[in-house]
Amino acid sequence: MDPIMTPIYIHGIAALSALGSGKQATLAGISSGQSAGLQAYDAKLYSGRSTFVGKVTEPLVELPPKLNDAKNRNNLIAATTYQQIAEVIETLKQTTAASRIGVVIGTSTTAIAEGESAIKHHQQHGKLPDDFRFAHQDIGDTADFIARLAQVSGPTYSLSTACSSSNRAFISAQGLLESGLCDVVICGGVDSLCELTVNGFDSLEQVSPEPSRPFDSRRRGINIGEAAGLFVLSKTPSKLALVGWGESGEGHHMSAPMPCGSGAKRAMEQALESANLQPADIGYINAHGTATQLNDAMESTAIEELFGNQVPVSSTKALTGHCLGAAGAIEAAICCYLLEEKQSAPQWPQDFTQADDVKSLNFMASSGQLSSLRILSNSFAFGGNNASLVFELYEHNHD
């Protein structure tokens, strides 16, 4: 990686999560601490326990007949979100060949929910449903669908590195643009709820029976969520940009992070180095903040060692749930929306009390004015797969 990264500019942002659809609904929820889609899971877990999830409650679009073969919840969430950037893409296609527009999507679930339903149908009837399409189980399905939806034909693929998938999609998109393989990239992440992931995290005894409380003394684990965040990226200057990224792969444990936080710290250090920034240049940190003991302790240690306790920090997963492969994308959208408003995000719930094993950080009690128009966003995944991004708002178009 070059020491200093050439900025990659953002020309469109789309978001759909438990907070709602688009900028206004997302920021309203961040400000008020209210999230309509954060609700009790409507099925009993295999363990007999219960939990909360972050669910998309907005009506999902109907697909045009020519795309009916692509119908699954992941793709419907993607299509509903894509509507927010469709006009930007159509405008760009007037001057950019479809073959020069790529698609890079982070995901971890694709159409697992439909696969679960199909298996249950097979158990009852001895055959798979007539409309079941095994291709939907492929991790690349959502990226392929978005390319069809946008009618573009550049490099198209998905990345799946668990909870850092979307951040790595940004890193990969930056490579496509910097290398000249693409002029525009539709980038982001999409994940939908399914029994496998909710019960999988329950088997690790990591899901909370109530809304999650990242970094809080009363935390009881995570809420699995679903969401989509999509971005239009190019090298043409605009006010918002990805200016730095960092990644690390510590491989400490299959599902637990390095307790000392060294892998997370290295990803953040690299992000600062590639952006040619110092820790004091960051105005707000959107923490991975899962509300699990191991992550919260590790991440707070890494942040304190690198930033001290001067930079405002919060985790927005208390309102969206942990959206797994889409976590980085929905949080990138939140970060960019916050930059546009020059605000940081408070740490919810309102009665937040810092856990004893969490280092003393500047957890925000309310929205505040950014001291610097740069935000660092963290996504840390199973296997020690860590990725951090730095976004910046320029007061004027930046050359």
pLDDT of residue 364: 86
pLDDT of residue 249: 80
> For this structure, is 163 an active site residue?
yes
pLDDT digits (tens, 9 = 90+) for 332-360: 999 999 999 999 999 999 899 999 999 99
pLDDT of residue 260: 63
CA 278 to mean position of chain CA atoms: 24
pLDDT of residue 67: 96
Confidence of residue 383 (pLDDT cuts 50, 70, 90): low
342 or 4, greater pLDDT: 342
Catalogue all structural domains in the chain, each as residue range(s) with its CATH number.
9-393 (3.40.47.10)
pLDDT at 106 over 60: yes
Q: Are 336 and 352 in contact (CB under 8 A)?
A: no
> For this structure, is 194 an active site residue?
no
Determine the average pLDDT of the residues in 263-270: 95
pLDDT of residue 164: 94
Least confident of 24-38, 311-325, 356-370: 356-370
pLDDT of residue 398: 59
pLDDT of residue 322: 97
pLDDT at 256 over 70: no
pLDDT of residue 190: 98
Given the residues 11, 136, 163, 323, select the one marked as catalytic: 163
> Radius of gyration (Cα) for the chain, nearest Å?
20
User: Could you tell me how many residues make up the chain?
Assistant: 399
In the chain, the amino acid numbered 278 is Q
**pTM score, two decimals?**
0.96
Determine the average pLDDT of the residues in 207-217: 96
Per DSSP, 36 falls in state T
Helix/strand/coil for 127: coil
Largest Cα–Cα distance in the chain? 62
Q: Residue 1 is encoded by which pair of tokens? A: 């990686």
pLDDT at 142 over 80: yes
Given the residues 322, 323, 335, 336, select the one marked as catalytic: 322
Between CA 90 and CA 311 the distance in angstroms is 39
Determine the average pLDDT of the residues in 71-78: 97
Confidence of residue 11 (pLDDT cuts 50, 70, 90): very high
pLDDT of residue 252: 65
Determine the average pLDDT of the residues in 140-166: 96
pLDDT of residue 397: 57
Determine the average pLDDT of the residues in 202-213: 94
Between CA 192 and CA 272 the distance in angstroms is 32
> For this structure, is 121 an active site residue?
no
pLDDT of residue 214: 97
pLDDT of residue 54: 98
pLDDT of residue 43: 87
Between CA 15 and CA 230 the distance in angstroms is 7
pLDDT digits (tens, 9 = 90+) for 267-319: 999 999 999 999 999 999 999 999 999 999 999 999 999 999 999 999 999 99
CB neighbour class for 90 (10 Å; exposed up to 12, middle 13-18, buried from 19): exposed
Between CA 2 and CA 181 the distance in angstroms is 18
pLDDT digits (tens, 9 = 90+) for 34-60: 999 999 999 889 999 999 999 999 999
pLDDT of residue 197: 94
Q: Are 13 and 85 in contact (CB under 8 A)?
A: yes
Given the residues 136, 288, 323, 335, select the one marked as catalytic: 288
Confidence of residue 368 (pLDDT cuts 50, 70, 90): confident
CB neighbour class for 205 (10 Å; exposed up to 12, middle 13-18, buried from 19): exposed
Q: Ramachandran region of residue 126, left (φ > 0), alpha (ψ -120 to 50) or beta?
A: left
DSSP 344-398: --PPSSTT--B-TTS---EE-SS--B-SSSEEEEEEEEGGGEEEEEEEEE-SS--
pLDDT of residue 162: 87
